[in-house]
Chains A and B, each alone.
Chain A
Amino acid sequence: MSKTIMVVDDSASVRQVVSMALKGAGHSVVEAVDGKDALQKLDGRKIHLVISDVNMPNMDGITFIKALKNQSAYRFTPVLMLTTESEASKKAEGKAAGAKAWLVKPFKPDVLLSAVTKLA
C-alpha cells in the first residue's frame, strides 16, 4: 500500500537514495533539508512515516522529532531515525524524543524498506 513518507536529511544524496528506494516501492515522498524545513512542509498533510537524520544544520533531528510530537496531528506518526555510528548516544535521546526505530548509515535499500513496512 502506498504511503506518504517524509525524508529529512541535509545531504541531498542521502535524500536521493532514500527517495528512490521509497518511490520504487510505490510510496510518495516529501523531502526536507533540515528540521525547520520539515516542520514547514508538514503543512497539516497526512504523513505515514517520518525518516529523519540526526545531525543537521538549523534544526537537528532530535529537536525536530520533539517539535513534531508536540503537534497533535503528528503525535502518533512513527519516526525512523537515521544515525551514524558515531552518534550512539543520540539514540537514547532520539528514543526519549519519540523515535520508534533507528537505522545506521550506510544501509541497503531493502533494509530501509523492511523498516518502513514495519513502521508505516
Chain B
Amino acid sequence: MTDPVDIFREEALEHLSNLEAALLELEQAPTSAEEIDAAFRSMHTIKGAAGMVGFDHLSQFTHHLETLFDRVREGQVELTAPLINQILEARDHIERLLDDPSPSVELQAVSAAQIIQFTEVTGEEHAGPERQETGHASQTAAGEARLYRIDICPAADAFRDGFDTLPLLKELSGLGEIHVTTRLGSSFDPRHFEPETCVLALSVALTTHASRESIEDVFIFVGDEWQIDITAITADEDCRLGDLLVDQKVVAPDALEQVLEQQPRAGELITAAGLAAPETVQSTLDEQRFIREQQKKQRKATPEQSIKVPQHKLDQLMDQVGELVILQARLEQLALESDDERASSLAEELSRLSTGLRETTFDIRMLPIGSTFGRFRRLVRDLANDLGKEVVLETEGAETELDKVVIDRLSDPLVHLLRNSLDHGIETPEVRREKGKPARGHLWLSASQHQGQIQILIRDDGAGLDTERILSKAIERGVVQPGADLDPQEIYQLIFEAGFSTAQTVSDVSGRGVGMDVVKRSIESLQGRVQLDSTLGKGTEVCITLPMTLAIIDGLMTGVSRERYVLPLSTVEECVEAVPETEDENSGVRLIRHRDALIPCLRLRDFFRVGGQPPEIEQTVVVRVGEALMGITVDEVVGHFQTVIKSLGRLYQGAGGVMGATIMGDGQIAMILDVGELVEQARK
C-alpha cells in the first residue's frame, strides 16, 4: 500500500478510535490532562495529514476540534456531557468525510452546522473557509484588533538565497486583513540593474487580533540582513500622507516640512517637487486610505474600554520592568562570558520578552496630554472673568502622548504659567484697545513631539516682558549687582530666580509666593528645560522641552578611565576620533573643528576630575542641544544601550551635569549625563 490517501485513511481511522477512547475516559474524568492531550493530538494529526493529501475540507473541519481541545487544555472550556456528545457526533462525521476529498454539499452543510456549535464554545471567530487555512489559532479569542505597519526590506541576496516574500505575505494575511504596498528600495540603481538582486521594499498594513509576537514569528527565519520594522499604529495617530511617506523613508522629513509650509494637497506637491515618484505617492495614498478605514472600524467596533489602576501599581510595574531590563543585561553579559549556547539562547529569549514587556508597560503609562487641557480651558475662563479680561485659550496637539507621571507633574507648572500669562501678560480690554490690539486676548497652548522629545509652548499676545523693569527689580532684590550689563535673554532668565515676582501688586492669582523659580525647578526635575522669549507689547512665549518618559532612554555608553558615562542618544550628533583642536584666545575654551565650524569641546576627564591617564587616541562625541553644538571628549565610546534611569535621590539634587544613574550589566553604576547642563556650563 503506497497510495498516501489510503495510508491517510487508515491512519485517520486509528486516530478516530483514539479520540473515541479518550472521550469515553473524559466522560468519567473530564480534566484528565493525558486524555485531553491524546484527543488534541489525534485531531492535530488528522488536520495536518488531511491537508497534505488533499482533504482540505476535512483539514478545516478538524481544525475547529483541535482548537476546541486546545481551549480545554488551557482550562478555558469545560468538557461537559453535552459537549462530549457533540464531539462524538463530529467524530462520526469525520469518518464520513474520509470517503471523498471533496465532500458532497450535504456533508459540507453538516460540517458548517457543527463548526458553528464548536466556535460558540471556543469563542473562536467563525471566518470564511479561505481564512481558516492559515494562522487562525494564533489569534487571541477576543480583544480589540490592532493595526500594524510592517516595513519589509529583504536583503539584496534574498532571491539568490532562495527566499521569497510571497509566503510571508500569505502568512501575514492569515493573521488578519492586510494591505500591501511595494516600491523599489533606496539602493535601486537602473544603471546597474541585476535581475537577481532584490531591490524590493514592502510595506504592509495589517489589522489583526494577533499579538506582536505572532507577527514577529512570521519573520523568524528570514535572513539577518533583512530589515523588518513592525510599528503599532494607534487609532489616534495622525495618518497624513506626508507622515506615511516620511515613515517609509521615501521623503526626508526636512524636505517634507518645506513643502508643507507651502501648504495644500501634499500629494501633488510632493510629486511635483520631485521628492517621490507619482506611483509611490499613489500607493501610499492607497495605504493611507486602508489605514483610515481600519481605524474607523476600530473606533466603531470598540468604544475604548479602560480600567483604573492606582498610580503606585503602575510605578511598581515600571520599577520591576526596569529591574528586569537590568537583569537581562546581566544575563546577556554572563552568557557572553561563559560562551554557553544554552545560556545565550535563554538570554536572547528573555531579551525578546523583556523588550516586549517594556514596550507594553510604557504604552500603558502613556496618556494624551489633552486630558489636562480641558481643565485648563475652564481655569482660563474663570480666571479671565475674575480679572475682568477677555481671553480665548486655543490648544493644539492634545493627542500628544507622554508618560502619565510627567503629565501629572506638569500640571502645576502649566497652571502657573497660564496664570502668569493671564495675570501679567494679557492686558485688560481697555488697555488693549488703546494699544490698537483686539480687545480679546489670545492664549495658545500647544504640545508636539519630535525626536523623542515633547515640546510644550505657552504663548500669549499680551504686554510682553519689560526688560528694564525686570532688571531694576532684580537689582532691588539683590539678585543682580547694579550696573550689570545683561542681554535680554539673560534678563528673562532672572525671572526664574528664587523669590522673583514682576507683578506690581501681589494679586491672589499668581502672587502666592510661588514664582517662576518653582516652575523651573519642577520642569528640571522632569529632566526638562524652560526657555522664554518675549517681545515688549507683543507677547511672551514659554517653551518647555521634556523627555517622553522618565524611566528608560536610549543611551550611548562612553568611558573615561574606569568610569562609565551615558549620553542620551537623542542628543548625539556623531562620534569622531582625534580631532584637531585649538583654544579660544579670550576664554581659553577648547575648540574643535566640526563641519567647517569651530565648536566648544569639553574633556570629560578634566571637567569631572577623573583620575588616570588619557589614551593616545581619544573619542569625541558631538552633541546638540537646541541649536548649540558641543563636543564631549571621552576615552572610548562603548556602544548603544537601553538605559534605565535611576534617580540619584535628594542628596544629589543639583549635581552638575548629571541627571541620574544607571546600573550596568556587571552591577556597576554609570552616570547619565545631563547634556543640556553641560552645554550651558561650557558656554560660561
Chain A residues with CB under 8 Å of chain B are 10-14, 16-18, 20, 53, 55, 57, 82, 84-86, 88-89, 91-92, 95-96, 100-102, 104-107, 114, 117-118
Contact = CB atoms under 8 A, between A and B. Distances in A.
B217 A17 contact: no
10 contacts: A11-B49, A13-B53, A55-B45, A86-B70, A88-B135, A88-B218, A89-B213, A89-B214, A105-B51, A106-B52
B214 A14 contact: no
Contacts of A12: 7-8, 10-11
B7 A16 contact: yes
Interface string B31-70: 0000000000100110111111100100100010011001
A105 B2 CA distance: 20
A95 B220 contact: yes
Contacts of A14: 48-49, 52
A118 B161 contact: yes
Nearest to B14: A12
A96 B352 CA distance: 12
B11 A96 contact: no
A20 B137 contact: no
B219 to A, nearest CB: 10
B531 interface: no
A4 B484 CA distance: 90
Given A55-B41, A114-B162, 18 more contacts: A13-B8, A13-B49, A14-B52, A20-B2, A55-B45, A85-B133, A85-B135, A86-B70, A86-B138, A88-B214, A89-B214, A91-B220, A105-B48, A105-B52, A106-B48, A106-B52, A117-B162, A118-B162
Interface residues of B, number: 43
B345 interface: yes
A61 B474 CA distance: 78
Interface in B48-97: 48-53, 56, 59, 63, 66-67, 70
Contacts of A57: 41
A11 B221 contact: no
Contact of B66 (A82, A86, A89): A86
The 4 closest A-B pairs by CB, nearest first: A106-B51, A13-B8, A86-B137, A11-B49
B67 A86 contact: yes
A57 B5 CA distance: 22
Which of B49, B67, B352 is most buried by chain A, counting CB atoms within 10 A of its CB? Answer: B49
A57 to B, nearest CB: 7
Which of A14, A53, A102, A118 is most buried by chain B, counting CB atoms within 10 A of its CB? Answer: A14
Which of B45, B70, B221 is most buried by chain A, counting CB atoms within 10 A of its CB? Answer: B45
Contact of A104 (B7, B41, B47, B134): B134
Contacts of B138: 85-86, 88-89
Contact of B45 (A10, A95, A100): A10
B217 A13 contact: no
B52 A91 contact: no
Contacts of B52: 11, 13-14, 17-18, 105-107
Given A13-B52, A96-B345, A20 B221 contact: no
B356 interface: no
Contacts of A82: 48
Nearest to A10: B45
Interface in B1-18: 2, 4-5, 7-8, 10-11
Contact of B221 (A91, A106, A107): A91
Contact of B348 (A17, A89, A96, A106): A96
Given A95-B221, A106-B48, A118-B161, A85 B345 contact: no
B44 A84 contact: yes
B136 A92 contact: no
A88 B217 contact: yes
Nearest to B44: A55
Nearest to A115: B162
Given A16-B4, A114-B162, A92 B48 contact: no
A84 B48 contact: yes
A52 to B, nearest CB: 13
A51 to B, nearest CB: 13
A11 B45 contact: yes
Contacts of B174: 85
A11 B43 CA distance: 11
A23 B53 CA distance: 17
Given A11-B11, A14-B48, A14-B49, A85 B217 contact: no
Contacts of B136: 85-86
Contact of B220 (A20, A86, A92, A106): A92
B349 interface: yes
A17 B214 contact: no
Nearest to B11: A12
B466 interface: no
Contact of B134 (A10, A20, A85): A85
B171 interface: yes
B62 to A, nearest CB: 11
Contacts of B49: 11, 13-14
Contacts of B133: 85
Which of A84, A85, A100, A102 is most buried by chain B, counting CB atoms within 10 A of its CB? Answer: A85
Contacts of B8: 11-13, 16
